[in-house]
Amino acid sequence: MAANLYRLAVSVSAKAHAPYSGLKVGAALATTDGRTYAGCNIENASYPEGWCAETSAISHMVVDGGGTIADIAVFCSAIDLITPCGGCRQRIAEFGSPETKIHLCDGSGIADTMTLEQLLPRAFDFKEPKSEK
Ligand code: THU
């Protein structure tokens, strides 16, 4: 399954719209019930308006009904071993668990696998406000 996510991440990275950074990033995720979604980064002339490959993949999952992320692979041919940015770690946390596996990929395949807990220890989590004393 992880090997399939690697292939998907590589192929979707070719679709990235990254004329400003030149970094074409691909991400592919699998849900705990076995669905897969892929996405690429999409940059904008107004730089802060661009977004990451992981965010695109997560948005595809959400519009298809949501789910829980079991695994996510990230690939960028121009970087030895890309890791999700801080914001994407938090987005993965929103739809994952501390055990969610993050596969860090290079040109030859999955080079390392880490858990979300390792990449984002003590992630911000908020369910409901504490009651006033
Ligand atoms: N990028 C991603 O797509 N995912 C990450 O986790 C890190 C950064 C993209 C955003 C931007 O288009 C380019 O890489 C350079 O930052």
pLDDT value of position 11: 98
Q: What is the pLDDT along the chain (133 residues), one digit of tens a residue?
A: 899 999 999 999 999 999 999 999 999 999 999 999 999 999 999 999 999 999 999 999 999 999 999 999 999 999 999 999 999 999 999 999 999 999 999 999 999 999 999 999 999 988 888 887 6
* Cβ of 104 less than 6 Å from ligand 1: no
* Cβ of 30 less than 6 Å from ligand 1: no
Q: Which amino acid is at 107?
A: G
Catalytic-residue membership of 54: yes
Å from CA of 43 to ligand 1 middle: 9
Closest by CA to 35, choosing from 71, 3, 75, 73, is 71
Burial of 50 (0-12, 13-18, 19+ CB in 10 A): middle
| Look-up of token digits 């739809």 | 95
- Catalytic residue (one of 54, 94, 117, 132): 54
Domains of the chain in start order, with CATH, are: 2-119 (3.40.140.10)
Work out whether the CA dihedral 65, 67, 71, 75 comes out positive or negative.
Answer: positive
pLDDT value of position 67: 98
